[in-house]
Amino acid sequence: MVSQHTRLSLFIALFMVVAQWAFAAEGARDNVTATTLDGSSLSGKLHAWTDQEVKLVNADGEQTIRTAELLSLQWLPPPALATKTPRIELVDGTIFPIDDYVTQSSEARVTLHGDFLSDRRQLAVPVKTVAGVILKDIEGKLATQWDEIRGQEFVSDVLVIHKQENSLDYIEGVVGDVSAAKVKFSLNGQSIEVDRGKVAGMSYYRGDGSNNTAEEYPLCVLHGREGLRAKASRLELADGQLLLTTTGGLKLAWPLGDIGLADFTAGKVVFLSDLEPISETWTSLVGLPKSLELAGGYGRPRRDGSAFGGLLGVQFPGDQATSTTAREQTFTKGLALRSRTEIVLQLPRGFRQFHAIAGIEPQTSASGDVMLTIDGDGRRLLEIQVAGHQLPQEIELNIAGVKKLTIVVDYGQNLDTGDWLNLCNARIVK
C-alpha cells in the first residue's frame, strides 16, 4: 500500500514535470526564428514588428532585421494544414476563419473565429470583395467536392448545397442577402429562399475584374493556426495584436498568438518550377518507338518531384575510410531533368541571384553522369560535370540584368545511362 507521503511526493514530482513542460512550451511560443535571404537564421523573442523591420531579443541582445531581407518568421509548433472549416475568402486571396457570416445589401457582417478582444471580433466587409464563403465544416470527400466545384469556371454566383446523402451539389444564379436562417438566391430571374442549414457555402462570380484589387506583392503572407491566410501590405505589432492591412485594403487586428508563419518570399524569391518556360525540349540519345513517346514522355522534365515519384533528392556518398554510410537529402521544390534537355526561361525583373543544389537522382546515382550548362542572355554562366559518385554541388550565380536563362543538361561520360539530374531548390532571389 502506497503511503500518503509517497503519494504526495509523486504528486509534487508530476506537478514539477508538467510545470516545466508548460514553461518550455510557452517559451517556444514566445520565440520566433527569422530566416533571411542569405540563408542564415536567427532566433529570439519578438520585441517589435513594423513594415520596415523586425526586432528580436536573445542572449546577444536586441537584433534588428529589415523586412526587405527576410524570407520568413517561423513560430513553433508550425501551423497545421488548413482544413475546410467555416471561412471567408476575399478576391485578393486572403482567407479568414469565421464563426458567422451575414449580409445585407452591399455589406457583409463577419464574426471572426479566434482569441479576439470582444470589440475586434466583428468585421464589416464589402460584399464585392468576397470571393467565396464556407458556412460549415467540410471534411473528407466533401472537401474534395468543394475544391472541384470552386475549380470550375462559372459565369455566375454558385450556391453549394449540403445534401442528405452526405454529398455536395450546386446551383448557378445570383446570391442575395444571407441571414441567420435563410439565403436568398435568384434562379432564372426567380427569387427563392434556401434554409441556411442546407447551405455549405457560396462562390461569388468576380470574373469581369471590376471588383478585383490591383495586383501587387504583399509585404508578407500570414498563416494562422486557426486557418488564417492573410496577404498583408502593411502591419504593426501593438499590445499582442497585429494591426494589418490586406492587399485589398481591409484593416483589422489579429492576435499574435495565432500566427505560426509569416512568409516574406512573395516578390523576393521565385522557384524555377513555378515559371512557365518559353521552350522546353528533351531529345533522347536514340530514337524511341511511338508507343513509348505516347506513354507520357519518359524524359520530359518533372516539376517539384522525382522522375520516379516522390520528392526530389540528392545523395551524399558514404566513406569506407570513416565507415559513414550514404545519406539522402530531399526537397519539395525543384526540377528533374533528363539528358538531353534544354529549358529556356524568361526571368522577371529585379532578380540578382540564382541558387540551386545539383545532384544525380539517388536511384540512378551509380551510373548517372551529365554536363550542366547555364547561360544568361547567351553568356555562359556555368559549365560543370555532375556525376552520381560526386557530392551534390551548390550553385550560386549572379543573374543581375539577365532576361533569358537557358539550362541545358547534356550527355556526360556514360552516354545517357542513369542521366537524371535533380536541380533541387532551384530559385532566383532579389
Instruction: Compute the average pLDDT of residues 385-412.
Output: 94
Cα(282)–Cα(420) distance, rounded to whole angstroms? 12
Q: What are phi and psi of 298, to 5 degrees?
A: -50, -45
Average pLDDT over residues 232-260: 92
pLDDT of res. 290: 55
Q: Are 144 and 291 found together in one domain?
A: no
Which of 93-97, 196-200, 321-325, 400-404 has the least mean pLDDT? Answer: 321-325
370 lies in some domain: yes
Task: Name 205's Cβ contacts closer than 8 Å, sequence gap at least 6.
Answer: 154, 155, 156, 157, 158
pLDDT score at 27:
42
pLDDT at 213 over 70: no
Most confident of 55-64, 135-144, 313-322: 55-64
| Pair (389, 286) in one structural domain | yes
Cβ 120 vs Cβ 252: under 8 Å? yes
Q: Are 264 and 67 in contact (CB under 8 A)?
A: yes
pLDDT band at 109 (very low <50, low <70, confident <90, very high): very high
* pLDDT above 70: residue 26: no
Statement to judge: residues 415 and 293 lie in one domain: yes
324 and 400, same domain (yes or no): yes
Q: Cis (ω within 30 of 0) for the bond into 218?
A: no
63: how many CB neighbours lie within 10 A of its CB? 15
Domain end point (choices 168, 183, 212): 212
Cell of 399: 543573374
Do 310 and 200 fall into the same domain? no
One domain, residues 307 and 418: yes
Distance, CA of 360 to CA of 308 (rounded, Å): 13
Asked if residue 82 has pLDDT above 70, the reply is no
pLDDT at 212 over 90: no
Has residue 418 been placed in a domain?
yes
| pLDDT category of residue 200 using cuts at 50, 70 and 90 | very high
> Does residue 210 register a pLDDT over 90?
no
User: Range with the lowest mean pLDDT among 26-30, 298-302, 396-400, 418-422?
Assistant: 26-30
pLDDT at 260 over 70: yes
With beta carbons less than 8 A apart as the criterion, state whether 230 and 244 touch.
yes
In the predicted model, is pLDDT for residue 11 greater than 50?
no
What local confidence, expressed as pLDDT, does residue 430 receive? 83
Tell me: do 295 and 182 sit in the same domain.
no
Asked whether the beta carbons of 241 and 255 are under 8 A apart, the reply is: yes
Residue 118 counted as domain residue: yes
Half-sphere exposure of 49 (CA within 13 A, CB side): 25
Report if residue 312 sits inside a domain: yes
Residues 165 and 97 in one domain: yes
Half-sphere exposure of 61 (CA within 13 A, CB side): 1
Domain identity same for 275 and 177:
no
- Say whether pLDDT at 291 is over 80: no
* Predicted confidence (pLDDT) per residue in 39-48, tens digit: 788 999 999 9
Same domain, 199 and 285: no
Report helix, strand or coil for 196. helix
- For residue 28, what pLDDT is reported? 42
Of 187, 212, 237, the position where a domain reaches its end is 212
Asked if pLDDT for residue 276 goes beyond 80, the answer is yes
- The residue that leads in pLDDT, 293 or 111, is 111
**CATH code, domain with 395:** 2.60.120.1060
What average pLDDT does the structure give for the chain? Answer: 85
pLDDT of the residue at 322: 60
Q: Is 282 contained in some domain?
A: yes
Q: What is the pLDDT of residue 2?
A: 47
Cis ω for the linkage preceding 340 (within 30 of 0): yes
- Based on the domain organization, do 280 and 167 belong to the same domain? no
Residue-wise pLDDT tens digits, 349-362? 889 999 999 999 99
- Residue 143, pLDDT > 70, answer yes
Q: How many C-beta atoms surround the C-beta of residue 405 within 10 A?
A: 24
At residue 23, does pLDDT exceed 50?
no
- pLDDT for 294 beyond 50: no
| Grid coordinates given for 148 | 472541384
Give the 3-state secondary structure of residue 305: coil
Average pLDDT over residues 312-323: 74
Q: Residue 69: which of 264, 223, 247 has the closest Cα?
A: 264
H or E element at residue 290: helix 290-294
Tell me how many domains the chain contains: 2
Terminal alpha carbon distance of the chain: 70
Would you say residue 378 lies in a domain?
yes
Q: What's the pLDDT score for residue 14?
A: 45
Of 36, 27, 86, 84, the residue nearest 57 (C-alpha): 27
The pLDDT assigned to 327 comes to 80
Q: With bands split at pLDDT 50, 70 and 90, how would you rate the model's confidence at 108? A: very high
Would you say residue 290 lies in a domain?
A: yes
Domain boundary residue, one of 167, 183, 212: 212
Higher-pLDDT residue of 272, 16: 272
pLDDT of residue 37: 78
Residue 261 pLDDT > 90, yes or no?
Answer: yes
Among 427, 424, 421, 425, residue whose Cα is nearest residue 307: 421
| Lowest-pLDDT choice from 73-77, 273-277, 315-319 | 315-319
Angle at 349 between CA 348 and CA 353, to 5 degrees: 85
> Residue 205 and residue 211: Cα distance in Å, rounded?
10
Across-strand partners of 280? 343
Report how far residue 309's alpha carbon sits from residue 326's, in angstroms, rounded to the nearest whole number.
Answer: 21
Query: Are the C-beta atoms of 429 and 269 separated by less than 8 Å?
Result: yes
Domain with 335, as residue range(s), is: 271-429
Q: pTM, whole model, 2 decimals?
A: 0.67
Residue range 244-269: average pLDDT?
A: 91
Read off the pLDDT of each residue in 316-343 and give the average, rounded to a whole number: 81
Distance CA(291)–CA(234), nearest Å, equals 55
The answer to whether residue 298 scores a pLDDT higher than 80 is: no
**Same domain for 332 and 186:** no
Output DSSP code: residue 352: -
Asked, for residue 383, whether it belongs to a domain, the answer is: yes
CB 312 within 8 A of CB 306: yes
